[in-house]
Amino acid sequence: MLILAAVLAIFVYGMIAAMLGTILPDLSKKFNLSPKENGNIALSQAIGLMIASLGVGPLIDLQGKKIGLLIGLALIAFSLLALPRSKSFIQVAAFMLVLGLGGGIIVTGANALAYDVSPDKQATTLNLLNLFFGLGGLVTPLVSARILNNDSNKICNFAAAMTVATLAVHAITEMPAPSGTVAFQFSKVTDLLSNGSLMILAALLFLYVAAEVGVWNWLARHLIAQGVPEKNALTILSLGFALGLLVGRVAVSPILVSVPGTTVLLGAAVLMTVTTYLMLQSSDPKMAGILVFLGGVAMAPVFPTTLAVVGDRFKDMTATAMGVAITCGWLGLVVSSPIIGSVAGDDPKGLKKALLLLPAASLIMVLVSLAL
């Protein structure tokens, strides 16, 4: 039941990670939104993720993973049900903030459950768990494009139903009791911030999240601006990027048994640099789909493997160290989306230039991985 609960929570998080990029084309039509306004909507979600990543550690330590996950799933269900009823840009941004809060809570809680399942094989377990993130990311745009006719209201309601079902499973699942003491201690953050190794790992997550979420949030709009039909663009996001993440995490799990996580991170960064650049150059749906799939495979191991390396290197202050690293990761989303939106301006075709941020961030990841 612990495995099922963790898997379903990560699956839901995958669904909402792909949500903004899936519904942005429809929302942009409804409210006549520019890429800059799209960036501000993404920023509000990122702020929610950051707030949750800082606050969920003490909540889980004092009240337990179950309470944290139930609260997170409830916030997600509420925001998904409220989004279709939005009447303005401001309301959309506010509900995306709530969605970010819920997402930040469940991604931390679900990964914490993975340690209860298999604490001695962290890198492999986290990669296997997070392949369901890719599955969730595959479902959202695929269902929207192939079944729900790209209707943002329907896809939000569909995801809300899946979230409520997951909430019911968590409600009946017995989970470990809370420790009763706060593992995430702000007083220790200052000491950790002076640790070069953790700062390198945090920088890696900062750059990675900027690149990954750049694909989730902006790829469909970029492809549509290049002349790719909306249904094809969303299919590329699902059967291309999301499937690539899923396949990549399945493939890398046995590799991590014998290959150090730091080596895997370096290889992933090199492949990300090449694939993220090439995926922006093609407007042919088939070629774009192949390149986006390869980009997903390249990105697949980075987030869970980085967390595993943090856990290995900071055994005495794992929760605090992970909180610092994950918060820096969400900061990458806070920074990247407004930059992409501002560079693109009011012209969706400007996204091709703006999204060069993705290979640029990946190239810097190569240097950071070498430092690690």
Candidates 3.40.640.10, 1.10.357.10, 1.20.1250.20, 3.30.360.10; CATH matching 2-174+188-371 = 1.20.1250.20
pLDDT (average), residues 343-359: 85
Alpha-carbon gap, residue 277 to 79, rounded angstroms: 34
Share of residues in the chain with pLDDT > 90 (%): 34
Whole-angstrom distance, CA of residue 350 vs CA of residue 357:
12
Question: Mean pLDDT across the stretch 285-306?
Answer: 92
Contact 332, 161 (CB under 8 A): no
- The sign of the dihedral angle between the CA atoms of 253, 255, 256, 257 is positive
Q: Using a pLDDT cut of 70, give the percent of the chain over it.
A: 91
Q: pLDDT grade, residue 122 (50/70/90)? A: low
The pLDDT tens digits of the residues spanning 70-98 come to 999 999 999 999 998 888 889 999 999 99
pLDDT digit string (tens) for 248-288? 888 888 888 889 989 999 999 999 999 999 999 888 889 99
What the block records as the tokens of 164 is 């409520």
At 345 the pLDDT is 76
pLDDT average, residue stretch 94-121? 81
- From the centroid of its chain, how far is CA 64? 23
| Cα 157 to Cα 178: distance, rounded to the nearest angstrom | 33
Query: Which conformational region is residue 199 in: left (phi greater than 0), alpha (psi within -120 to 50 degrees), or beta?
Result: alpha
| Contact partners, residue 259, CB within 8 Å, separation at least 6 | none
Mean pLDDT of the chain: 86
**pLDDT at 1 exceeding the cut of 90:** no
Rounded to the nearest 10°, the torsion over CA 293, 228, 351, 247 is: -10
Which pLDDT does position 205 carry in this prediction? Answer: 95
Q: Note the pLDDT tens digit of each residue in 7-59.
A: 899 999 989 988 888 888 888 888 888 878 888 888 898 899 888 877 777 77
Rounded mean pLDDT of 152-167? 94
Domain limits, the chain: 2-174+188-371
Average pLDDT over residues 218-224: 89
Half-sphere exposure for 370 (CA within 13 Å, toward CB):
6
Is pLDDT above 70 for 123?
no
Phi-psi region of 260 (alpha: psi -120 to 50; beta: other; left: phi over 0): beta
